[in-house]
Structure 1
Amino acid sequence: MTDLATTAPQNRSRKNLTRQFERYALLLVWVLIIAAFSIAMPNSFFSWGNFSIMFASYAPAALLALAIIVPLTAGDYDLSVGATLTLSASTIGVLNVWHQMPILLVLLIVLAMGVVVGLIHSLFIIYFRVPSLVVTLGSTSLMSGIVQWMTNSSTIGGIDNSLIMAAVGYRLFGIPYAFYYAIAAALVMWYIFDYMPLGRRLLFVGRGREVARLNGISVDKVRVGALVMSAVLASAAGILYAGVLGSADPYSGLNFLLPAFAAAFLGATTIQPGRFNPWGAIVAVYFLATGITGLSMLGIPLWVTNVFNGGALILAVTISQITRGREASDIG
């Protein structure tokens, strides 16, 4: 009896230590990677200017990762966020540069376009019962074709300087405002996820739609809201991308999709293991950005970036599934 009374608290203590390590393991690995690259390249990598550029240039990817985790929490996938980003940035170029429309009006149009994209996805996914993977994959191809048509497959320069200044012209502690927009979005999302009924409804719907429905939650409305918010955040990422880049590129925005998805799943293994969470996603984005930036500065061939992102996605999904399965087992 005494042995059992002693062993139980020890097991609980060991389990708590393991959970605490899991919460911050990715942060620890991130610090170690920064240290390794800093030792290898002390004059180039380990500089405030390098980190400043990295924080700003990956801010659109951070917003995309946040966009992805909203429907993921509710049990749906949105593979179209990269295409939505590209469509938004290209629309800014076409309307502001070619048609000379005021930038504020253009930004409102772009955000409204995100709402429309989300509602179209909801129509097919929720009311016609088409799997979200199929719908958003199809809309990715559709939007990519529209972008190439509207831009004549060319990069559009000359975007209003006020947008560029708002993204990278103004700085706080030497870091462009673009980074802080992503942090602000994560802060708002964290508050909604953890402290508002809407966040709990999203989580309940993702864990079990039938159970959520029996508990009086309007499952379809929650899913519609998640898909619309995902598209709006992706449109906001397009605005930020246009500001950071200073132009509208009809192709390179899609390159954010894979690292954003990898970050969404990798983020579910840290801070709040077993849950898609905004702070985990932000940490994961910049963890991957650090790896890619460091490898690029070492002169590693370009194909290594694709290997790095693809491997990170597979590993992140695997670890996330293991963690989520263990969390569910503990709850059960």
Structure 2
Amino acid sequence: MARPDMTSTEAAPTRPFNLGRFVERFALLGVWSVIIGIFGVLLPGIFLSWANFSILFATQAPAAILALALIIPLTAGDYDLSVGATLTLSAVTVGVLNALHHIPVGLVVPIAIGVGILVGFANAFFIVYVRIPSLVVTLGTTSIITGLVQWITNSSTIGGISPSLIAWVGRGRLFGISYSFYYVLILATLIWVIFEYTPLGRRMLFVGRGREVARLSGIDVDRVRTGCLVASGALAALAGVVYAGLLGAADPFSGLNFLLPAFAAAYLGATAIMPGRFNAWGAVVAVYFLSTGITGLTMLGIPLWVTNVFNGGALVLAVTVSQFARGREDTDIA
């Protein structure tokens, strides 16, 4: 039986231009542009300023990296609710080792990412080999990490992180935009290439669509799922490093604020660019689409509770629409 990943050398049939499909792919970008225009009219001279968008691109970089972390296990059919807690643990690791124990940033950053990798391996052990559902495992991991972080920090923010990390993440600028935004672009490009042009990306997709079929086709399903969960932990830890660099401190409650927007963006992104599939560029666009709406509403003086309603509603709507898109793509493939 031929392996699914061996079919990449075959010439893909050329599809005729489909206007409806084109609109579906780029509708989110269009709606984002409309929202920017509306807030630009309602908040003239403020919302459309370069300073506003520069801040927006920078401050949402951790959420964008977290969304990219999420789509990796989601593509393989697993949920990772622990990414927010992993972000917090990574940021706290940077704060404790660098600010309190004065260990150089060059050593602290790999350690922080290594902590995320360990979390990924722990999740994978219980999910893949003990066969416990991923929602249960990662929810438990979140609770454990949250408790550990509060114990380590005494529920207090740790300040005094090295200016060198702050310079390479928050204060460094290229074309007036923080370096953190360009790290998001680099990661999104890397994940896009892996998903679209490598055998690994095709294996991940096959595993997510049908594990038994993938296993019968010769794919090492357990290995693919383990790798996805480990990669998710590593990227979530990287998001924590970026957040620590942007804030200049380690907040023991930061990750929980990013989790819901990241999930909403991951699913909303599956309705754009490549509808029906979790994809890197869709997730990044969705993060900034959601944050643009929240920023505009905040500038208009909307109460803070609206943020939670907005993110929650976006998540439910995004999951609903993505399910329809995934079903339609399956029909097209069949």
TM-score (norm 2): 0.95
Please name the residue that 1:83 is paired with: 85
1:46 aligns with 2:53: no
Please name the residue that 1:161 is paired with: 163
> Which of residues 264, 267, 286 is equivalent to 2:266?
264
Please name the residue that 2:210 is paired with: 208
Q: Does 234-243 or 249-258 show the bigger shift?
A: 249-258
Aligned partners of 1:319, 1:122: CA distance in 2, in Å? Answer: 29
> Which of residues 196, 199, 219 is equivalent to 1:197?
199
Letter of the 1:159 partner, please give it: I
Letter of the 1:129 partner, please give it: R
Aligned partners of 2:102, 2:169: CA distance in 1, in Å? Answer: 20
1:36 aligns with 2:35: no
Correspondence 1:113-192 to 2 at 5 A: 113-192=115-194
Please name the residue that 1:62 is paired with: 64
Letter of the 1:226 partner, please give it: C
Aligned partners of 1:86, 1:113: CA distance in 2, in Å? Answer: 11
Letter of the 2:110 partner, please give it: L
Instruction: Give, in angstroms, the shift of residue 125 of structure 1.
Output: 0.2
Aligned partners of 2:309, 2:150: CA distance in 1, in Å? Answer: 27
User: RMSD of aligned C-alpha atoms?
Assistant: 1.0
Letter of the 2:128 partner, please give it: I
Aligned partners of 1:188, 1:125: CA distance in 2, in Å? Answer: 26
Could you list the per-position Cα deviations for residues 248-282 of structure 1 after superposition, in whole angstroms to 9, with x for gaps in the alignment? 00012210000000000000000000000000000
Aligned partners of 1:170, 1:107: CA distance in 2, in Å? Answer: 17
> Which of residues 315, 322, 325 is equivalent to 1:320?
322
Aligned partners of 2:122, 2:135: CA distance in 1, in Å? Answer: 14
Letter of the 1:66 partner, please give it: L
Aligned partners of 1:252, 1:79: CA distance in 2, in Å? Answer: 14
1:247 aligns with 2:225: no
Letter of the 1:149 partner, please give it: W
Letter of the 2:62 partner, please give it: P
Could you list the per-position Cα deviations for residues 295-324 of structure 1 after superposition, in whole angstroms to 9, with x for gaps in the alignment? 111110000000000000000000000110
Instruction: Give, in angstroms, the shift of residue 331 of structure 1.
Output: 1.8
SS at match of 2:45: coil
Please name the residue that 2:227 is paired with: 225
Instruction: Give, in angstroms, the shift of residue 330 of structure 1.
Output: 2.0
SS at match of 1:100: coil
SS at match of 2:137: helix
Letter of the 1:93 partner, please give it: G
Instruction: Give, in angstroms, the shift of residue 99 of structure 1.
Output: 1.1
Please name the residue that 2:8 is paired with: none
Instruction: Give, in angstroms, the shift of residue 326 of structure 1.
Output: 1.1
Q: Does 136-145 or 97-106 show the bigger shift?
A: 97-106
Could you list the per-position Cα deviations for residues 53-106 of structure 1 after superposition, in whole angstroms to 9, with x for gaps in the alignment? 000000000000000000000000000100000000011111111111111111
Aligned partners of 2:84, 2:45: CA distance in 1, in Å? Answer: 34
Correspondence 1:4-15 to 2 at 5 A: none
SS at match of 2:18: helix
SS at match of 1:239: helix
Q: What is the total number of aligned residue pairs between the two structures? A: 320
Instruction: Give, in angstroms, the shift of residue 114 of structure 1.
Output: 1.2
Aligned partners of 1:117, 1:148: CA distance in 2, in Å? Answer: 17
Unaligned runs of 5+ in 1: 1-11
Unaligned runs of 5+ in 2: 1-14
Could you list the per-position Cα deviations for residues 147-182 of structure 1 after superposition, in whole angstroms to 9, with x for gaps in the alignment? 000011000111000000001211111000000001
State the percentage of identical aligned residues: 67
Could you list the per-position Cα deviations for residues 30-54 of structure 1 after superposition, in whole angstroms to 9, with x for gaps in the alignment? 0000000000001211100000000
